[in-house]
Structure 1
Amino acid sequence: MDAAPTVVDDVMTHRVVALRAGAAFKDIVKTMWEWRVSALPVLDDAGRVVGVVSEADLLPKEEYRRGGPGRYGQARPGTDAHKAWAVTAGDLMSAPAVTVTADATLAHAARVMARNNVKRLPVVDRAGALKGIVSRADLLKVFLRADEDIAAEVRREVVLRLFGAHDDLGRDSEAIGIEVREGVVTLTGRVCDTDLVPLAVLLTRAVEGVVDVRSALAGPPRRPNLDPDLPDADMPGPDLSRPQRTARA
């Protein structure tokens, strides 16, 4: 299929604020407040992303403000209690940073977010330099696509290519109806090769902006048997090359 899928570069935020590892605690809080963000990438001297500081990394400072975990013994296992004493981005950040490249598909970015339980990803080039930020909300922008655009792409990239290739006259592809409402695609009509229907549904689901696919595609209508006393034309007839036995009275 020739239609290029939407990639991270198409939806990401290109203007990004970042921190150096030596940024002080209060400067981090101030930057988050001014930019209305809940996480910031941390860069090394070469501009490469080495970590991310989020609100969750800052909260231990308040959680243990009146008494650190060491006051009553060891910190709870699995906590970031040690960050209660951290004062710089380098000490607070979660590292290594979970990143994605600008040419990654939205599906890939969504999987990375889900697997790592993060809400946003720094976007980097092949050298690890910061290029932008992509968030969960950015990934959902594709579902704002107009129903008419979705229908046109399904017709062009799925129906014509899949069914037109198996029908020299294009009758199959012309007979297929495509209706899109709120991103839900409904395919209707009859096709000669029903084995292609599952593939049509799969390819339609992969079109950018499709929420769901409903298939009402069916095979060609069966021809009526006008004379039930005659053998079916599709059934093999007698083998006349062999001698036939006749019943004796």
Structure 2
Amino acid sequence: MHRSPYRVRDVMTRRVVAVRKGARYKEIVETLHEWKVSAVPVLAEGDVVIGVVSEADLLPKEEFRDSDEPLGLDQLRRPLDLAKAAGSTAEQVMSSPAVTVGVDATLAQAARIMAHTFVKRLPVVDAEGRLQGLVSRCDLLKVFLRSDAELAREIDREVVEHLFRGTGAEVHARVEGGVVTLGGHLHDASLVPVAARLARAVEGVVDVEWELDTEVTSASRVP
């Protein structure tokens, strides 16, 4: 039985295509085309991730192909792209340092990294920076594929039994479409927001609602 929170290692893709830092430009393009991906990690010795090369990193070579034409002001303000246009290896055109995530990071941590850096996928590395896999936005959503029955069991174990044992409360969990409904009889209304936070912390839960036969029934939905 899995216990929340899930870690990146639980959902990441372990079979990852990557290129070495000395990979030639055309080899990189062929790799992207063959594997139908838009970016690949760049590896140094020991499979350490030192950067990522994407279609955007490769495109300046085509954009600045007309070298006999004078460069415009906008182009001159883009020295990094001009340098990439002249590059011929992965190390010369990659974006570095690579934005990565550790294998033991939580899914919430990975999601925040993606949101703050505006990337769709992250190379997953171990403590030494060696490539272990790849995690994408789609991978982070896998937890919402957990069955209602599995979620209900975890809610019973991690919320109901943990929080309400010995309180005289008679609380039970029902899950439909990932939405948890906690019903029954509850004496201490102060436990409602605590239970809501614990239930929402379970990976795969969409929302939490209440059906109680106490004085807190008027708050059937906890914000």
- TM-score, normalization: structure 2? 0.87
CA distance in 2, matches of 1:17, 1:186: 43
* Structure 2 counterpart of 1:159: 160
Matched-pair contact (CA < 8 Å) for 2:5–2:201? no
Matched-pair contact (CA < 8 Å) for 2:57–2:94? yes
Gaps of 5+ in 1: 222-249
Gaps of 5+ in 2: 217-223
**Is 1:198 matched with 2:199?**
no
Over residues 3-39 of structure 1, what are the superposed CA-to-partner deviations in whole Å (9 max), with x where a residue is unaligned? 3421111111111121111111111010011112111
Matched-pair contact (CA < 8 Å) for 2:6–2:203? yes
- Secondary structure of the residue that 1:40 maps to in structure 2? strand
- Which residue type is aligned with residue 94 of structure 1? S
Identity within the alignment, %: 54
Quote the offset at 1:77 in angstroms: 4.0
Quote the offset at 1:114 in angstroms: 0.9
CA distance in 2, matches of 1:114, 1:29: 27
Matched-pair contact (CA < 8 Å) for 1:197–1:217? no
Larger Rg: 1
Which is worse superposed, 208-217 or 70-79?
70-79
CA distance in 2, matches of 1:111, 1:96: 18
- Secondary structure of the residue that 1:112 maps to in structure 2? helix
* Structure 2 counterpart of 1:121: 122
CA distance in 1, matches of 2:69, 2:47: 35
- Which residue type is aligned with residue 58 of structure 1? L
Quote the offset at 1:185 in angstroms: 1.4
* Structure 1 counterpart of 2:42: 42
CA distance in 1, matches of 2:213, 2:88: 66
* Structure 2 counterpart of 1:27: 27
CA distance in 2, matches of 1:177, 1:57: 54
Over residues 20-60 of structure 1, what are the superposed CA-to-partner deviations in whole Å (9 max), with x where a residue is unaligned? 11111111010011112111111112321100011121222
**Is 1:141 matched with 2:142?**
yes
* Structure 1 counterpart of 2:55: 55
- TM-score, normalization: structure 1? 0.78
Aligned residues: 214
Residues 46-195 of structure 1 aligned to structure 2 (within 5 Å): 46-66=46-66, 71-73=71-73, 75=75, 77=77, 80-82=80-82, 83-167=84-168, 172=169, 175-195=170-190
* RMSD of Structure 2 on Structure 1 (CA): 2.2
